[in-house]
Amino acid sequence: MVNNASAISLTGTLETPMKRFDLMMSVNVRGTYTCAQACLPHLLRAGNPHILMLSPPLNMNPRWFKGHTAYTISKYGMSMCVLGMAEEFRDRGVAVNGLWPRTLIATAALNLIPGVDPRCARREDILADCAHLILTRDSRSCTGNLFIDEDVLATAGINDFDRYNVDRATVPLRDLFID
């Protein structure tokens, strides 16, 4: 199971309507939990079962809460699902991991961030390549990780990240939650 669903609103507390807060919590945290719960009975019968969440490393630097507390809580909730479920299903052989990009990725969500030039991002295929590398690992020995895309590729001997840039002449900007 790959969970790439997400709702985003990079707004401050006073600028985040409760309807938007509820949407982020519902899609990001509840959706993560619900999809995993629905897939687990099937995964428990699989040969090399994996759940992969697009969720960030847990970075408690207050700067990642300032300006978008609700979004940060919702994304970190996904990462906490990774850690909890990985431990819960470790002995049953189901891998649960998170994956997060070091840089911005050129997706529709990028259009929701004012002032960001999409040329300062990487293409989505960097995450697809990482997902393949993670999902083909042995589920019993690869669980409970909050991976960063570049680190996953580097362990596979891939160190040319520029090939994923939208514009090779532009240095991609760091994504949220990465110091």
pLDDT tens per residue, range 93-109: 999 999 999 999 998 88
Q: What is the pLDDT of residue 170?
A: 87
Q: What is the pLDDT of residue 168?
A: 87
Q: What is the pLDDT of residue 5?
A: 84
Q: In what order do the strands lie in the sheet with 50-53?
A: 2-3, 50-53, 95-100, 146-148
Q: What is the pLDDT of residue 110?
A: 81
> Which residue positions in the chain have pLDDT lower than 50?
none
Classify residue 81 by burial, with Cβ atoms within 10 Å: 0-12, 13-18, 19+: buried
Q: What is the pLDDT of residue 101?
A: 97
pLDDT tens per residue, range 57-97: 999 999 999 999 999 999 999 999 999 999 999 999 999 99
Closest by CA position to 40, among listed 77, 89, 98: 89
Q: State how far the alpha carbon of 158 is from the alpha carbons of 93, 142, 151, 152, 153, in Å.
A: 28, 19, 9, 9, 5
Domain ranges of the chain: 2-164
Q: What is the pLDDT of residue 89?
A: 98
CATH superfamily name and code, 2-164: NAD(P)-binding Rossmann-like Domain (3.40.50.720)
Return the active site residues.
71
